[in-house]
Structure 1
Amino acid sequence: MGRAWDAVTDPTIGFLVSRSRWTRIGRMMPWIVLSTPLAVLSYFLVWWVPPFEQGKVLWYLVFLCLFQTLQTCFHVPYSALTMFISSEQRERDSATAYRMTMEVLGTVVGTAIQGQIVGGANAFCKAQVVDEPGVFNASASPAGADANVSHACLDYTKQAYMVASGVTCAIYVLCAVVLLLGVREYDCSPSPSAKPLSFYRGLKLVMGHGPYATLVMGFLFTSLAFMLLEGNIALFCTYSLSLAGDYQNILLVIMLSATLSIPLWHRFLIRFGKKTAVYVGVTWAVPFMVLIACVQSSLLVAYLCSVAAGASVAVAFLLPWSMLPDVVDDFRVKNPELQGHEAIFYSSYVFFTKFASGVSLGVSTLSLSFSGYVTGSSVQPPLVDFTLRILVSPVPIVLIFVGLLIFRLYPIDEQRRQGNRKLLRELRNKQPDSETDSMETGTVV
């Protein structure tokens, strides 16, 4: 259910206003404008129950895939806007920190909204009572009452999911409008004579850029570690810690901790550097992963580990998007005659992020299947408990250390980053005054 609420989290960046000259609508905004209404419609149809029985699976498969595709069409230009709102690294880092804070907060708000609306339907079904008489009579005919109760619960649940999806769509549109009206792009090209880059040539150059390949591979392993933890935490709390009624609160604590930790990590990376923030922030979760796998059933320990895990999740949210603009700047320094490569960097990274999500889901599903997991059963074989403990502790820890070893090869430290900043500024200063005036630094509101 959490992935469905990505619809809420993506558009919540509309707080940046650029003081630059409004020369055109930009390269990114048209994709956002075109994808938003179609994404909203496809998301709503995912939760709508069609009036036919045959072909329901195909219906949901088509619209779910369509929604994911349109969401990607929104998310890639939305993320790449970071490169078009300011040419200053510090301001882009600040914008990224605000953006990721709003995304995580959006996940929390979206989960809370759907939880409250759908929770009301579940409460209705448990009570098996309606306010208006005549809908069903539980004392008149037990069999008929059961049928009426089941039908009423089903209708009420359908309505609740439709209302929840409608609220989500409204938030999506509202945030997209704020984004459209609140953000203006401007040309950040280091050279006025830069030539447009074709997609295939750009993809070849981007994937062959050493710092980008290192960054992607490092975060591919660390992201996979946290995805395994988050993807199995509900089953782990249910069958290993016997905390079936508390796992939703544990997930909420993780996301709240991540939301509150992002501004702190932002200040940390400004003071100590981004590579240091990666090492400290990602390894922060390792002792707590070991602790949570060793306990049998302790709600206090579970909440403690959730707070610590949320702090590391904040690093996994913030640092990739904060370091990606540095890689783009490094590419610009080495290829000042090219332009139009920013979206390739961001779209490729989104691809690898979704790839890590798919690998995480596949590994978890296969592992649980081999361990004898029975869907819907309240009692699972002992091997399931062992498998869940492996998936939330040893495997993520190994993946984290592999990712950190790859990061040792990441060449863009603070010295190189500041050097690239100086070189790009020198390139921009060579442009005509009219071009320079249109590249004034954006203001973060």
Structure 2
Amino acid sequence: MSTDDAEADTKPELSLLRKFLFGLAAPPLQMSSNVVGFFFNIFMLEVAKVPPYFVSVILFVGRAWDAVTDPMAGHLVSKTNTRLGKTRPWMMIANPIGCAMFFILWIVLFPVTEDYNGAKFAYYLVVYLLYCTLITCYHVPYTSSTMLIARQSTDKDAATAFRMSFELLGTIVGVGLFGIIISTKRIAASCGSSREGQITVEEERSVYMIGAAVIVGIFFLCGLAGSFGIKEKYAEKQVSDDSFFSNVKAVLTFRPYVLLMFAFLFMSLAVQMVQTNLALYTTHSLGLGDHTSYGILCVLGIAILAIPLWNRMIQIFGKKNIFAVGVVMFIPCLLCAMLVPRDVVWAFYLVMSVSGFAISISMLLPWSMLPDVIDDYFLKHGTRREATFYSLYVFFNKFAVGFSMAASQITMSLVGYDSSPEACEQSYEVGLALRYLVGPGPIVCLLASLSLIYTYPIDKQYRQELSVRLSQFLQRQDSRQDIVDESKSTGISGSTGNSSFENEAYQHEEQLQTTGPVGGGSEAGRSRANLDSNL
């Protein structure tokens, strides 16, 4: 039987309702992170009046903090065993507290004068670190549950597609509502218009809090769906008992994961550099500050509409090829963004529209490819480290956000961005720097991502073989367990014969724990040849 026929004959394990509930739990991280990515920059500069240097320090420290908390959260999740499962307890606790930290992040407690710069720095640093910690404690368990709700690769791909669709939908709704709310009272966007001088500082601060309250409401409701709607069907027996550092070392020395992770990192850096600077770029480089929110909605709206298209293209051409298509498509968009003339509305929306297709791939493909890497690791090493895989993946995604925001702040400080209360227009150098931040910088990152994905070993053919052989391996494992359970139910579990049978039934599982199911030879060859011998 061919790999395509075998995959087609596999019955889905996840119902439509379970996929829907799994997807509904997705928005908190991406929605809140995108709101932070698009608007925290302008909030800190224009509303809280925090100097760019302090903002860059806050963001760098936040990413350094994530370097500790993300893998540690993954390790702790892998060690968690409760009657509610591995992931749900974490999500239930992190959801309400994370909502509170996100809201507090948008409160201005101190006067905007320079005398309070130290107090503002300390306040936003502490709150930002707490927010990062709690969103990690929600998102790492949630993403790692992908490997626990189903074993079929088709089910995991479908669950990931639902997740990414809901993430994009939540991001559109959240970012759109937040952007529309703050745009009504944004002082910088009113410069040169009839509204200039009519908006007070207090009004501008209040709309940020209103927008944050709306995001918190969506955040909390989606978190409830994750806490009570996700059902872990499979508690893997081959879970690693290694220490935290051994887990991290094992994951970071697995070549397919390293290649995919860094390809994802560089693609995320490109996307986040554009996202972080889009509001400032639209306002100060193009003079279209009133169109900022609508441009963001245009990008995200097209991105979510394109997901079914790319999902179909994945089935035809494979994930690796479509990932490369997304990278290549994004490069001319960035070149055009750098060259768009000032005050030309139609060119701005044209670039945003085409960018939406590339953004869709960057959000869907890396997360859809990760389960394939985890399954490949399991069949080569015989242990499950999905929480560690996902936690490091989440960290590098958040690192891209923090690095891009910090790079933007440092650049703005170097070119003389004026964050004083009376500042309205910025210098020509600021506008030019923003064009470079959304053009050449991201393009370099995309080229690095493309070179890495070229050497990524899991192509369409290998993925199909991996999926079918993993399914057959698990079916044999389940058959052994059913026979053991049936023999125990007859009341002869204490007999010598049954003891011998159990030893034989679990001999392969013991082999997995010690040497893994494959050995010797090239990476792809070891997987294919030894999987056949196991089956």
**What range describes the TM-score normalised by the shorter chain of this pair?**
0.7 to 0.9
- Counterpart among 395, 399, 408 of residue 364 in structure 1: 408
Q: After TM superposition, list the pairs within 5 Å mapping 1:366-385 onto structure 2.
A: 366-375=410-419, 377-385=423-431
- Counterpart among 262, 265, 270 of residue 217 in structure 1: 262
2:157 counterpart of 1:93: yes
Q: Distance in 2 between matches of 1:7 and 1:306?
A: 20
- Counterpart among 373, 384, 399 of residue 355 in structure 1: 399
Question: TM-score normalised to the size of structure 2?
Answer: 0.67
Question: TM-score normalised to the size of structure 1?
Answer: 0.79
2:368 counterpart of 1:342: no
| Structure 1 spans left out of the alignment, 5+ residues | 10-22, 127-145, 438-445
SS across alignment from 2:390:
helix
Q: Distance in 1 between matches of 2:213 and 2:176?
A: 15
Letter in 2 for 1:25: L
Alignment correspondent of 2:177: 113
- Counterpart among 273, 286, 299 of residue 228 in structure 1: 273
Q: After TM superposition, list the pairs within 5 Å mapping 1:257-406 onto structure 2.
A: 257-297=302-342, 298-336=344-382, 338-339=383-384, 341-375=385-419, 377-406=423-452
Alignment correspondent of 1:246: 291
- Counterpart among 21, 28, 32 of residue 6 in structure 1: 32
2:255 counterpart of 1:196: no
Q: Distance in 1 between matches of 2:458 and 2:207?
A: 50
| Structure 2 spans left out of the alignment, 5+ residues | 1-27, 36-81, 191-196, 484-535
Alignment correspondent of 1:174: 221
Q: Distance in 2 between matches of 1:235 and 1:159?
A: 21
Q: Deviations over 1:330-370 (max 9, x none)?
A: 1001111x23x101001001111122222212322233333
Q: How many residues end up aligned between the 2 structures?
A: 394
Alignment correspondent of 2:38: none
Contact 1:333 1:423 in 2 (8 A): no
What's the offset of the Cα at 1:69?
0.9
2:467 counterpart of 1:409: no
Q: Distance in 2 between matches of 1:270 and 1:285?
A: 22
Contact 1:86 1:188 in 2 (8 A): no
Alignment correspondent of 2:477: 431
Q: Deviations over 1:274-321 (max 9, x none)?
A: 011011122112222222322313211110110111111111111110
Contact 2:302 2:356 in 1 (8 A): yes
Distance 1:83 1:3, change over 3 A: closer
Alignment correspondent of 2:212: 165
Letter in 2 for 1:106: G
Q: Distance in 2 between matches of 1:58 and 1:362?
A: 17
Distance 1:222 1:426, change over 3 A: same
More deviation, 382-391/248-257: 382-391
Alignment correspondent of 1:75: 139
Alignment correspondent of 1:13: none
Distance 1:117 1:408, change over 3 A: closer
Contact 1:8 1:107 in 2 (8 A): yes
Q: Distance in 2 between matches of 1:32 and 1:358?
A: 23
SS across alignment from 2:477:
coil
More deviation, 367-376/415-424: 367-376
Letter in 2 for 1:170: G
TM superposition outliers: structure 1 runs of 4+ over 6 Å: 51-54, 120-123
Using CA pairs under 8 Å that are at least 6 residues apart, name the structure with larger relative contact order, 1 or 2.
Answer: 1
SS across alignment from 1:223:
helix
Contact 1:328 1:342 in 2 (8 A): yes
